[in-house]
Amino acid sequence: MELSIRNLSKTYANGVVALDNISLTIPSGMFGLLGPNGAGKSTLMRILATLQECDAGSVFFGDLDVLDEKDEVRRLLGYLPQDFGVYPKVTAYEMLDHFAVLKGLSHRGRRREVVDGLLQQTNLFDVRHQRLGTFSGGMRQRFGIAQALLGDPRLVIVDEPTAGLDPQERVRFHNLLSDIGEERTVILSTHIVSDVADLCANMAIINKGELLVTGATQQLIDDISCKIWARFVDKKELAYFQQRHTIISTRLLSGRTLIHAYSDDDPGDGFEEAIGDLEDVYFATIAGRHVADACD
């Protein structure tokens, strides 16, 4: 089912505008919501998860009114928040079994079948009798996905799920998210560009409560591919290039400073054309550059 968000706004009591008239259509499959910390992503996720009220706007999941029919939405929803706590002295099986009871799986045999299946799917079955307090960060996140999948939800929301994971656990988690995204609408909210690049066919970029761009991930990359120019500079030269060009990113590469400039034409000054990627889309968009005009 499609998730339709229209004119959604939220301002906190201290005057911070978390969401400013957001309109967004999220199709089935993996959808990436990309933005820096404080962009409004978590506020949007909490509203979609029926945990927070908005000031104005509407949200529909298919024909279901997310803002007014919260109980019905929760039956179709799986949610992994940014901060997912566990009871350290309880085993993975005991905790997931308890969550299953809360989800309405009262029949013991059926509940055991579901719990075992989810622990298998998240590669936690062999450690199901291990206390959650002994789990690594990646194991806890996979357990979080297991609880989010209870009840076979049609909409799954995961908020900053790979922050702090080591590279191996990130790969495991990516594979898991890819599997569950084949049959559901999965919203991945993150500030990590590579998560969206690896997993999401469609995406949006949000910053300071405003929706900046949305579309097919590969199309957004294609649209910017001819507009990125790169060169190495000395640190003492960086200010000069920032004054003369639209520098969207700088990074150290093998001890040297690599800069990317955004330009429709060859900017000169020793720049060479580079192959744009999603990181360039992200930085150019955050910098206020329009990247929707396709390259020839």
Distance separating alpha carbons of residues 272 and 209, to the nearest angstrom: 35
Same-domain status, 87 and 192:
yes
The pair of structure tokens assigned to 20 is 């400013």
* Measured CA distances, 195 to 33, 138, 139, 242 (Å): 10, 15, 18, 29
Distance separating alpha carbons of residues 62 and 74, to the nearest angstrom: 14
Same-domain status, 12 and 133:
yes
pLDDT at res. 168: 84
Residue whose token pair is 């993975």: 92
* Residue range(s) defining the domain that contains residue 241: 226-287
Same-domain status, 81 and 45:
yes
- Residue where a domain terminates, one of 190, 215, 240: 215
The lowest-confidence range among 34-48, 163-177, 275-289 is 163-177
The lowest-confidence range among 65-79, 155-169, 212-226, 247-261 is 155-169
Q: What is the pTM of this model?
A: 0.89
Same-domain status, 180 and 47:
yes
